[in-house]
A and B are shown apart, each in its own frame.
Chain A
Amino acid sequence: MSCTRIDELLPPYLDGDLSAADRAEVDRHLAACEKCRRSLAEYERLERSLFALRRTVPSWKTAETRLDERLGFGRRKAFTRIFLSAPAVAGLATAALGFVLISRAERLAAAFERFGSLLAGRSQIIASASGGIVESLSRLDILVLSSIYALLTFAILLANARFVLRWGRR
């Protein structure tokens, strides 16, 4: 076989795709021809380079992120992540609690007072304890409730800011 013919057979030879007769022929030729042995080595190196192409495929995550942006899934995900996150839920709960405390402070104090009076009729010990609570509650005015609410809201705000900053880096 000529070197040209051997050169054509080297790719299937490396793939193990030749008949036994052709393979034996190529082997005999390679044993005697240095030029074709060099060709074989070049094919082997080419094969390695071709396999390395696998690493040039961009990651699925990159492609998926672009798809999310395109379909709007990203925006939906971000919305869910922010508004259904634990800090966000805690913030909303605090706001609701603050609203109740402030808007109903006087009624709450009156309710506690009535509850204390009710217990006072039952037991001296409970009455003294509840009397203390009632006394404390009656001292709570709008200003104190507002301060507690403001502190809680501030803490939640900090937690939210930290969460959003961390999310933004993703």
Chain B
Amino acid sequence: MEECLPLYRERSLIEMAKRGNDRAFRSILEEHYPLIYSVVHGVLQNRTEAEDAVQEVFIRIYRGLPEFRGASKLSTWIYRIARNEALNALGKRRRSHISLDECAELRSGDGNPEAAVSRTDESRLLERHMARLDEPQRIALDLRYRGDKSYEEIAEIMEIPVGTVKTHIHRGKAELRRMMARSGAPGKGIGES
């Protein structure tokens, strides 16, 4: 799998963006957008909240880029910003007493309880189960599948060994399969209609 951006191009884009080049800044954001969305979604497990958090991450990158010295990889730096922002949003949600279950329910039915029951969209069901996984498993799975990252890239981004990434993903998948089976949709409910 390809690297996010070749290193020389990444450095040149960072320098241009620091000098106020809007196109360079947008290129950086566009390139890392799947990563940002995967991370914030991995934490929040809610599309609307994730989209709002993505915007906050963009602003924080916009403000923080002049201070970026390149001590870590850009993707790692962006990952930290995205995760912190998502955790902030999660904290706000908790303070407003909306549980993850309620959130998953709302999401699965777009706020309509009847729709939540009748919904047959397998990916929604899968997302509901993903919301119940541990955070590192959720983020690793989101980065792998939503963000289309390789194990090596995920390891670099999350700053953990590749073996740990694999463990998170394999255990997450095993847990998901069990949950899908318990929800009465073993296999059929996942990928086939």
Contact = CB atoms under 8 A, between A and B. Distances in A.
B166 interface: yes
A125 to B, nearest CB: 60
A54 B146 CA distance: 4
Interface in A26-65: 38-39, 41-43, 45-58, 60, 62-64
B34 A57 contact: yes
A151 to B, nearest CB: 41
A132 interface: no
The DSSP consensus for interface residues of chain B is: helix
B91 interface: no
Nearest to B181: A42
A57 B36 CA distance: 10
B74 interface: no
B26 A43 contact: no
Interface in A58-100: 58, 60, 62-64, 66-67, 70-71, 73
Given A42-B181, A43-B173, A51-B145, A58 B58 contact: no
Nearest to B166: A17
Contacts of A41: 187
Interface residues of A, number: 35
* Majority secondary structure of chain A interface residues (helix, strand, loop or mixed): helix
Contacts of A42: 177, 180-181, 186-187, 190
Contact of A53 (B145, B181, B187, B192): B145
B191 A64 contact: no
Interface residues of B, number: 39
Given A67-B55, A67-B58, A73 B22 contact: yes
Contacts of A73: 22
A53 B180 contact: no
A55 B148 CA distance: 11
B192 to A, nearest CB: 6
Interface stretch (A7-15, A107-115, A141-149, A152-160): A7-15
A45 B125 CA distance: 14
B148 to A, nearest CB: 6
Given A50-B126, A57-B146, A45 B170 contact: no
Contacts of A67: 29, 55, 58
B147 to A, nearest CB: 8
A50 B145 contact: yes
B34 A49 contact: no
Given A46-B191, A50-B141, 6 more contacts: A46-B180, A47-B173, A51-B145, A53-B127, A63-B55, A71-B59
Interface of A: 7-8, 10-12, 15, 17, 38-39, 41-43, 45-58, 60, 62-64, 66-67, 70-71, 73
Interface of B: 22, 26, 29-30, 33-34, 37-38, 47, 51, 54-55, 58-59, 62, 122-123, 126-127, 141-142, 144-146, 148, 166, 169-170, 173-174, 176-177, 180-181, 186-187, 190-192
8 closest A-B pairs by beta carbon, nearest first, are: A11-B170, A45-B191, A48-B191, A50-B145, A42-B187, A49-B190, A45-B190, A11-B173
